[in-house]
Amino acid sequence: MQIGGSATLGLSMSESPDNIDYERSFSSISDDSISFKQKAEDILHSIGFRAMIFFQILAYGSYSVLVHLCEKDGVIAFSSTTMNFILEFVKLIFSFGALFYYTSVNINICPNKIQIISWFRQSLPYSIPGILYFINNNLAVHMQVHMDPASYQILSNFKILTTAILYRLIIKHKLTRQQWFALSLLFFGGLAYSFGTLKNSSFVPKTVTTDSMIIPEMYIRPLGVPMIAIYCTFSGFAGVYNEWILKKHYTESLHLQNIFLYSYGTILNLFPAIFSATIKFSTLSFFNPFHGFSFYTWLIVLTQALNGLFMSVVIKHSSNIIRLFVISFSLIVTSLLSLFIFHITFNIYFFISFITMTCSLSLYYSN
């Protein structure tokens, strides 16, 4: 799928008589807002776009389950920064490939100082969501040991509250009284669930067999509450701010915008990943950055890399509202997987929260 137009990244257009025609063509396309609106409409109504949404629901819903399958003796077996480095690097390589495939550019092997400074200034706005995603993506891994997959997915719906508030503050999107009531209902429903489940989960044993892991009941450990609060706040801010940047420079190639964002993610995860591998080297007596990786870890990398790339298309051509739809519906996937894989028993708080969440979402989106 071709998204966006021409781009510059320390790159130079091929020197040819057609270069002037290309620049004129690009200028006319940039000025033609109607064509971009039509392009966005075509993307939103395409079968491919709907397939992206369906895949994202599966990816979001399976994430927590896959991380729990990577647990060993109650701890995450792999380095979160190493996994996220690989994940960001895969997305970065794909974005470079897509940029070169869809855009007529030649690599300037030795960019001058002006080009480097220009690229750095152009990328600076993406450093904010890059830092927030770096924190959140690692936090999302480690908080899994403090709650079961279904609890994580329910409490992740607090993203709807933080996103809606930040939408109002950053993008100036007004909410109706009905929507504010729906958000209040969602908040208090999630709050009641967290305290109700927290009360009965000081320690929940997990039964690990050669074939599977059994989580007998839903649980949230005390540290899980502040972790999910930070996670949802950062996620909401990063999502809204990223959408604001993508749409502010709508005529700019999405692949170039992704390169800026994923470059920060790759760099920020690289150094902690090296540090983590070095620490393990002292205990393992051999350097293995992939220590603790399993089939499920690589499955996380694959699904979340595609999920991130697809979400950039959704946010640029639609809005974070669809992202929130995806998060909400992914609870069904998580619940089913938890039931069949971990044989988890859902408590009364789950069903109360599920009903409350369904009502609040219905009120919010029906407006």
Note the pLDDT tens digit of each residue in 150-201. 889 888 888 888 888 888 888 877 778 888 888 888 888 877 777 777 655 5
Q: What average pLDDT does this structure show over 350-355? A: 85
Q: Could you tell me the CA-to-CA distances from 174 to 168, 171, 232, 367 in Å, in that order?
A: 6, 9, 21, 12
96 is a domain residue: yes
pLDDT at 308: 95
Q: Evaluate if residue 20 carries a pLDDT over 60.
A: no
Task: Give the residue among 293, 296, 224 at the shortest CA–CA distance from 69.
Answer: 296
- Residue 9 belongs to a domain: no
State how many domains the chain has. 1
Give me the domain span that covers residue 59: 46-104+112-365
Q: Which residue do the tokens 């540090």 mark?
A: 275
> Rounded CA gap, 245 and 248, in Å?
5
Bridge partner list, 179: none
Per-residue pLDDT tens digits for 206-263 = 655 545 677 877 888 889 989 999 999 999 999 999 999 998 888 888 999 999 999 9
Contact in structure between 268 and 97 (CB atoms under 8 Å): no
CA gap 187, 177 in Å, rounded: 15
pLDDT of 344 > 50? The answer is: yes
Domain for residue 2, yes or no? no
pLDDT-derived band at 16 (thresholds 50, 70, 90) equals very low
Residue 45 has pLDDT above 50, yes or no: yes
Contact by Cβ (8 Å): 112, 329: no
Q: Is there a domain that residue 39 lies in?
A: no
61-73 as b/e: b if 16+ CB within 10 A: bbbbbbbbbbbee
For residue 19, give Cα distances in angstroms to 23, 25, 135, 246.
6, 10, 42, 27
Q: Is residue 66 part of a domain?
A: yes
**Domain annotation covers residue 6:** no
Could you tell me the two tokens for 348? 């009364």
What does the pLDDT read at residue 39? 57
Helix (H, G, I), strand (E, B) or coil at 314: helix
Q: Is residue 33 part of a domain?
A: no
Contact 65, 336 (CB under 8 A): no
CB atoms within 10 A of CB 291: 17
Residue written as token pair 């950039």: 312
- Alpha-carbon distances of 284 from 270, 279, 287, 289, 310, rounded to whole Å: 20, 9, 7, 11, 38
More confident site: 36 or 327 = 327
Q: What is the DSSP letter of 145?
A: G
Is residue 359 classed exposed, middle or buried when 0-12, 13-18 and 19+ CB atoms within 10 A define those classes?
middle
Average pLDDT over residues 51-71: 93
The rounded percent of the chain whose pLDDT value lies above 70 is 80
Q: Is residue 238 part of a domain?
A: yes
